Chain A
Amino acid sequence: RKEVEQDPGPFNVPEGATVAFNCTYSNSASQSFFWYRQDCRKEPKLLMSVYSSGNEDGRFTAQLNRASQYISLLIRDSKLSDSATYLCVVRTSGGSYIPTFGRGTSLIVHP
C-alpha cells in the first residue's frame, strides 16, 4: 500500500460546480498535512495547510479525518482557473521535515 494515495482523475466539472478530492495516508503517526496546487509544467505551490479542526480559505475547505486517515479538499463554485493538479502532502511527525507526496489529482473545469 502506498503511503499517500490519491485518485489521479481527471475530474471534469463544469464551472460553478462543487468538487471534492480525498487523500488517504497509511502512517498513523502522520501529523502535518498540506494541499499543494501544481499547474502544468510549473512548480507546486502551497494551497492550504490542513488543521485538525478543518480550515477554510474562500472557496476552498480542507478537512482532516484522523480516525479514517484521510484528508479532503472541497472546492466550491469552481472556476476555469482552478484547473490544475492538486497534490496531497503528508509529514510523519511534527518535527519531521521529510514530506511524502501523493501523485496528485487532476482537475479540469470546463465552461
Chain B
Amino acid sequence: DAMVIQNPRYQVTQFGKPVTLSCSQTLNHNVMYWYQQKSSQAPKLLFHYYDKDFNNEADTPDNFQSRRPNTSFCFLDIRSPGLGDAAMYLCATSRAGGLPEQFFGPGTRLTVL
C-alpha cells in the first residue's frame, strides 16, 4: 500500500545530542511537510518542501534543519535538542493541486533527557 513511513517511531536522546528523523513516502507527492506536535496542541508546521524548494516557517528555530535528497525521502535534523523539543514529530505529504488532503506518517516521538 502507498504510504508515509517514519523512522524511528521512538527516539530518546540526550540534551544537546543531535538527532535525525527520517520520512519516506511511496505516494509520489510533490509536497512534504514536517510538523511538531505537543500534547493537546495543534500540529505546528516547521517547514515544507515543494519538490526541491524548501520553505521555512518564520518561527522555526535554527536548531531545526531539513533535507530532501529525492522525492521519496525527507529528513529532520535537530542539531542540539533541548528539553522543550520533546514532542511528536509528524511527516506529511500532499499533492500540489486538486483537493490537497494531507497524508501523515505515524510520527516519531522524541524524548530528550
Contact B40 A44 (CB under 8 A): no
Interface band, chain B: 20 to 34
B42 at the interface (CB under 8 A from A): yes
Measured between beta carbons, the chain A residues less than 8 angstroms from B94 are 97
Contact B40 A97 (CB under 8 A): no
Contact A44 B100 (CB under 8 A): no
Nearest A residue (CB) for B106:
A43
From the candidates A43, A46, A87, A95, name the one contacting B107 in the complex (CB within 8 A): A43
- In the bound assembly, the distance between CA atoms of A97 and B94 in angstroms comes to 8
Contact A42 B40 (CB under 8 A): no
Measured between beta carbons, the chain A residues less than 8 angstroms from B99 are 32, 49
The distance from the CB of B12 to the nearest CB of chain A, in whole angstroms, is 16
Interface band, chain A: 20 to 34
B105 at the interface (CB under 8 A from A): yes
Contact B88 A41 (CB under 8 A): yes
| Contacts from A to B (Cβ < 8 Å) | 8, 32, 34, 41-46, 49, 87, 89, 91, 95, 97-99, 101-104
3 nearest A-B residue pairs (beta carbon): A43-B104, A101-B42, A103-B42
Contact A49 B104 (CB under 8 A): no
Contact A43 B90 (CB under 8 A): yes
From the candidates B42, B45, B97, B107, name the one contacting A42 in the complex (CB within 8 A): B107
The distance from the CB of A60 to the nearest CB of chain B, in whole angstroms, is 15
Nearest B residue (CB) for A44:
B104
B75 at the interface (CB under 8 A from A): no
Nearest B residue (CB) for A45:
B104
Flag B72-113 by CB within 8 Å of A: 1 or 0 each.
000000000000000010100010110111111111010000
Contact A43 B42 (CB under 8 A): no
Nearest B residue (CB) for A91:
B100
The distance from the CB of B60 to the nearest CB of chain A, in whole angstroms, is 13
